[in-house]
Structure 1
Amino acid sequence: MAAKKSFALRIDPDLHEALERWAGEEFRSVNGHIEYLLRESLKRAGRLPQRKQRED
């Protein structure tokens, strides 16, 4: 698994609160839920890069 990239995200407090509630309902952290939402959006748009196949 590739290392995760860290970066600061400035977000409206009301938006964060809504994400926090939604993430809790899905049993995810806010960070994990944002990553999930972004990945799903990229998939739907056909813009998700293909993962490199591991060679054993």
Structure 2
Amino acid sequence: MQSTERRLPRPDRFRKRWRRYGRLVATNFLRGAAYASGTATIGLLAWWVQAR
């Protein structure tokens, strides 16, 4: 017989999976926000140079 001590309980397994997905979503969100803010900064700088 297998002992149940070796296996992780089901809620822990789901918690780890959701934590991993949450970290992935947060990383992608921050990466997208950094890209968008960098693009907006470059666009604003280009507009400011042309407007002078």
TM-score norm. by structure 1 comes to: 0.34
Q: Which has the higher helix share?
A: 2
TM-score norm. by structure 2 comes to: 0.36
Q: Greater relative contact order: 1 or 2 (C-alpha under 8 angstroms, separation 6 or more)?
A: 1
Higher-Rg member (1/2): 2
